[in-house]
Amino acid sequence: MSRLSKQPIAIPNGVEITINGNDVAVKGPKGELSRSFKTDVISLENKDGSIVLDKVTDTVFARALIGTYASHLMNMIHGVTEGFEKKLIVEGVGFRSEVKGKNLEMALGFSHPVIMEIPEGISVTAEKNVITVTGTDKERTMQFAAQIRAKKKPEPYKGKGIRYEGEIIRRKQGKKSA
């Protein structure tokens, strides 16, 4: 059994959790999230200001899911209270980014600007060479940050491209002149 699911998940003040059959809705100061869970495998109960997870049947599938469900619930609670943030650094001569309305427009050395539509529920800011992606849903926020990075991955010789803050790029030496 997962160590995450052995302890009840505490519900902080200002957060409401509604369990309605397979659907779980979490409402907090930053927004509202909902997700469907397989309640025929894992049971969810709201007891004394915390959520208790338990396996309905002791199968390999249930043991695999119980930790995943606990992690999803903790991410939902963290998202509606504090939110998630990912910073990307744009490096390169002439590389720049700016937010225009609901689009993120980037100049990445191509013959055309790269335009990405910002999904609903996610906010993006771009100052100088830093793009900040914030949102309440961890999966959608991190997925959009990964899609931005995929437009121009950092190359190993000069380090040009888009990288995450704190990401270390292994550098190569390059050609030596004779």
pLDDT tens-digit series, residues 76-117: 999 999 999 999 999 999 999 999 999 999 999 999 999 999
CA distance 21 to 163: 41
CATH superfamily of 3-81: Ribosomal protein L6 (3.90.930.12)
Give the pTM. Answer: 0.90
Cα angle 86, 79, 40 (rounded to 5 degrees) comes to 125
Return the domain boundaries, the chain.
3-81, 84-164
**In terms of CATH, what superfamily is 84-164?**
Ribosomal protein L6 (3.90.930.12)
Are both 3-81 and 84-164 of the same fold? yes
